[in-house]
Amino acid sequence: MVGRVHSIETTGMVDGPGIRYVVFVQGCLMRCQFCHNPDTWDRTGGQVMNSETLFADLLSYLPYYTVSGGGLTVSGGEPLLQADFVKELFEKCRSRGIHTALDTTGIVWNEDVESLLQVTDLILLDLKEMNPEKHRDLTGVYNSSVLQFAERVAERNIPVWIRHVMVPGLTDHPDSLDEMGAFIQAMPNVERVELLPFHKMGEYKWSQLGIPYRLSDVEPPAEEVMRAAYRRLTRYISATKFPEMGQCV
């Protein structure tokens, strides 16, 4: 089976446990204001690759993933848009005992996605914003399908790491963090919460694509602000379940 791939990272360190082979697929339904890879949005872009070629390349690095407790992560773009392709990759990994992780916004739910989740070991779920109107302004779409995805994954007890990007003035309001914390608390399958600081490393891509970038004047949040926000986000959750600070990249 073939899919559209934006890029590959062979020694990923931040997209799941251990050292990971990270496949960034092409195509996304969201248009996040803080996206650092807007070049992944176009569903007709990227390079057409088959699962056999990708898996063979992954196997050439397998000792690194085995020793570190790593594996394969498929990110994006939005991997749920190519669920069949991702499923075939994950099935190949499962046949060799290789850990699989899905980095997703949870924006899609259909039979193909349900089938993919049956061979998924870990979900990295990006929660952007709880308020539906704010979510639409931030990403271009409402978040009802995202929250439904989270609830369905919780029902299936698939391990989840929650990710939230802290954008000053947009996604850092205390009430929003409280609402998200309460939502996470109700998910018994959450193993980790990662609060990620906003950055502008992908701003040049917006310029290259001729897309107006609305966050040019926004600066990354200070470390003490991040720590305070993390404590607020996780204050209703068992203190023994998560570290003092989630992974920051």
Question: pLDDT tens across 105-130, in order?
Answer: 999 999 999 999 999 999 999 999 99
pLDDT score, position 235 = 87
Number of Cβ atoms within 10 Å of the Cβ of 240: 5
pLDDT score, position 246 = 47
Backbone angles phi, psi at 166, to 5 degrees: -85, 105
Listed range (8-17, 19-28, 150-159, 234-243) with the worst mean pLDDT:
234-243
Report pLDDT digits (tens) over 38-86: 999 999 999 999 999 999 999 999 999 999 999 999 999 999 999 999 9
Q: For a pLDDT cut of 90, what percent of the chain falls above it? A: 93
Residue 244: is its pLDDT beyond 50? no
Q: Regarding beta strands 160-166 and 99-104, do their DSSP bridges make them parallel or antiparallel, or are they unpaired?
A: unpaired
pLDDT score, position 237 = 74
pTM: 0.94
pLDDT score, position 109 = 96
The tokens describing 49, both together, are 């690759």
Q: pLDDT-derived band of residue 241, with 50, 70 and 90 as boundaries?
A: low
Question: Chain centroid to CA 150: how far?
Answer: 13
Domain regions of the chain by residue span? 2-233
Q: pLDDT-derived band of residue 249, with 50, 70 and 90 as boundaries?
A: very low
Query: Taking all residues of the chain, what is their mean pLDDT, rounded to a whole number?
Result: 94
For range 196-203, the mean pLDDT: 95
pLDDT score, position 238 = 60
Contact 54, 5 (CB under 8 A): yes
Q: pLDDT-derived band of residue 245, with 50, 70 and 90 as boundaries?
A: very low
User: Which residue shows structure tokens 């600066």?
Assistant: 219
The tokens describing 209, both together, are 């694509």
pLDDT score, position 242 = 53
Rounded Cα distance, 181 and 72, in Å: 28
pLDDT score, position 240 = 42
Residue 220: is its pLDDT beyond 80? yes
pLDDT score, position 99 = 98
3-state secondary structure the chain: CEEEEEEEEEEECCCCCCCEEEEEECCCCCCCCCCCCHHHCCCCCCEEEEHHHHHHHHHCCHHHHHHHCCEEEEECCCHHHHHHHHHHHHHHHHHCCCEEEEEECCCCCCHHHHHHHCCCCEEEEECCCCCHHHHHHHHCCCCHHHHHHHHHHHHCCCCEEEEEEECCCCCCCHHHHHHHHHHHHCCCCEEEEEEEECCCCCHHHHHHHCCCCCCCCCCCCCHHHHHHHHHHHCCCCCCCCCCCCCCCC
**Closest listed residue to residue 205, CA positions, set 5, 21, 6:** 6
pLDDT score, position 32 = 98
Classify burial at 158, counting beta carbons within 10 Å of its beta carbon; exposed 0-12, middle 13-18, buried 19 or more. Answer: middle
Q: Quick one: CATH architecture of 2-233?
A: Alpha-Beta Barrel (3.20)
pLDDT score, position 229 = 95
pLDDT score, position 69 = 97
For range 210-217, the mean pLDDT: 96
For range 91-100, the mean pLDDT: 98
**Closest listed residue to residue 77, CA positions, set 152, 134, 4:** 4
For range 78-98, the mean pLDDT: 98
